[in-house]
């Protein structure tokens, strides 16, 4: 089976811890994923002037799939929600979460 390249955005705050746990589960389950780590969130504001650098969007477009951890959303001021920005910039209109009823 060929490994699939997936953009991995750990996020900030508790995001990296949650993403590391999820990645460990996926790898233990045998998922054939090559993680392409990218930085987004409050932690990158100083360096890029935005919480969602254009390079991250380009990387998601190239890979066609991304896994994102929680990212800080300021209330009332600061910057636009990264979730909103991702939806607008990538024309995403649905959050599909497949489930199986047992």
Q: How confident is the model at residue 77, as a pLDDT?
A: 62
**pLDDT > 70? residue 95:** no
Q: What is the per-residue pLDDT across 59-78, written as a single tens digit (0 to 9) for each?
A: 999 999 999 999 887 666 66
Q: Does residue 10 form part of some domain?
A: yes
Q: 72 is in which domain, residue-wise? A: 4-89
Q: What span, in angstroms and rounded, lies between the C-alpha atoms of 53 and 27?
A: 28
Q: Does residue 64 form part of some domain?
A: yes
Q: What span, in angstroms and rounded, lies between the C-alpha atoms of 80 and 82?
A: 6
Q: Does residue 57 form part of some domain?
A: yes
Q: How confident is the model at residue 13, as a pLDDT?
A: 86
Q: How confident is the model at residue 76, as a pLDDT?
A: 62
Q: Does residue 27 form part of some domain?
A: yes
- Structural domains counted in the chain: 1
Q: Does residue 102 form part of some domain?
A: no
Q: Does residue 98 form part of some domain?
A: no
**pLDDT > 70? residue 8:** yes
Q: How confident is the model at residue 83, as a pLDDT?
A: 85
> How many Cβ atoms are within 10 Å of 97's Cβ, its own excluded?
5
């Amino acid at each position: 089976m060929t490994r699939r390249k997936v953009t991995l955005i750990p996020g900030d705050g508790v995001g990296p811890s949650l993403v590391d746990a999820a990645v460990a589960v996926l790898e233990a389950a045998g998922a054939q994923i090559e993680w392409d780590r990218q930085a987004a969130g409050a932690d990158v504001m100083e360096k890029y002037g935005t919480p969602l650098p254009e390079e991250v969007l380009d990387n998601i477009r190239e890979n066609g799939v991304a896994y994102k951890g929680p990212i800080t959303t300021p209330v009332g001021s600061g910057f636009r929600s990264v979730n909103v920005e991702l939806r607008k910039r990538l024309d995403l209109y649905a959050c599909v979460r497949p489930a199986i009823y047992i």
